[in-house]
Amino acid sequence: MKGAAIATTLTLGASTVLAGPSIKARADATPITVKGNAFFKGNERFYMRGVDYQPGGSSQLSDPIADIDGCKRDIENFKSLGLNTIRVYSVDNSKNHDECMNALADAGIYLVLDVNTPKYSLNRASPKGSYNDVYLQYIFATVDAFANYKNTLAFFSGNEVINDGPSSKAAPYVKAVTRDLRQYIRSRKYREIPVGYSAADIDTNRLQMAQFMNCGTDDERSDFFAFNDYSWCDPSSFTTSGWDQKVKNFTGYGLPLFLSEYGCNTNKRQFQEVGSLYNKDMTGVYSGGLVYEYSEEPSKYGLVEINGGKVKTLPDFDALKSAFEKTSNPQGDGGYNKTGGANPCPAKDSPNWDVDTDALPAIPDGAKKYMTDGAGKGDGFGGKGSMSGGGSVSTGTAQPGSGSATGGSSGSSGSSSSSAGVMNLPNVSLAPVVVGMVTVLSTLMGAGLILV
Ligand X SMILES: *[C@@H]1O[C@H](CO)[C@@H](O)[C@H](O)[C@H]1NC(C)=O
Site for ligand X (CB under 6 A): which residue of 16, 239, 245, 442? 245
Tell me if 421 contacts ligand X by CB under 6 A: no
DSSP letter at 132 equals B
Burial of 450: CB neighbours in 10 Å, binned 0-12, 13-18, 19+:
exposed
Q: Which residues contact 67 (CB under 8 A, 6 or more apart)?
A: 100
| R_g (Cα) of the chain, nearest Å | 21
Residue type, 398: A
160 is catalytic: yes
Closest CA to 375 of 120, 144, 90: 144
378 binds ligand X (CB under 6 A): no
Using DSSP, state whether 158 is helix, strand or coil. Answer: strand
| Subset of 202-241 contacting ligand X (CB under 6 A) | 203, 206-207
The three-class DSSP label of residue 415 is helix
**Closest by alpha carbon to 212, among 115, 339, 353, 116?**
353
**What are the C-alpha distances in Å from 312 to residues 79, 194, 341?**
15, 34, 44
| Cα separation values, 35 from 9, 93, 255, 316, Å | 42, 30, 9, 34
Q: Does residue 254 belong to the site contacting ligand X (CB under 6 A)? A: yes
State the DSSP code for 167: G
Smallest gap from Cβ 242 to ligand X, in A, equals 5
Residue 251 found at the interface with ligand X (CB under 6 A): yes
* Binds ligand X by CB under 6 A, chosen from 246, 269, 321, 368: 246
# chain residues binding ligand X, by CB under 6 A = 14
Secondary structure (3-state) at 198: strand
The sign of the dihedral angle between the CA atoms of 189, 190, 193, 196 is negative
Please confirm, yes or no, whether 293 is among the known catalytic residues.
Answer: no
Contact predicate 67/100, CB 8 Å? yes
Instruction: Give the one residue of 56, 57, 165, 242 binding ligand X; rule: CB under 6 A.
Output: 242
3 state SS of 231: coil
End-to-end CA distance of the chain: 59
Residue 409, C-beta contacts closer than 8 angstroms, at least 6 positions apart: 432
Stretch that binds ligand X, among 6-14, 163-171, 250-258, 410-418 (CB under 6 A): 250-258
d(CA 363, CA 371): 11
Which residue's beta carbon is nearest to the bound ligand X? 254
Contact set for ligand X, span 331-350 (CB under 6 A):
337, 339-341
Could you please report the per-residue DSSP string of 349-373? BTTTB----S--BPPPGGGTHHHHH
Alpha carbon 101 to chain centroid, angstroms: 16
For residues 127 and 340, which CB has a smaller minimum distance to ligand X in the complex?
340
Selecting among 220, 261, 273, 297, the annotated active-site residue is: 261
Distance CA 241, CA 291 (A): 17
Quick one: which segment of 69-77, 150-158, 217-225, 243-251 binds ligand X (CB under 6 A)?
A: 243-251
Please state the closest distance from residue 447 (CB atom) to ligand X, in A: 15
> Contact residues for ligand X (CB under 6 A)?
203, 206-207, 242, 245-246, 249, 251-252, 254, 337, 339-341
Which residues are known catalytic residues? 160, 261
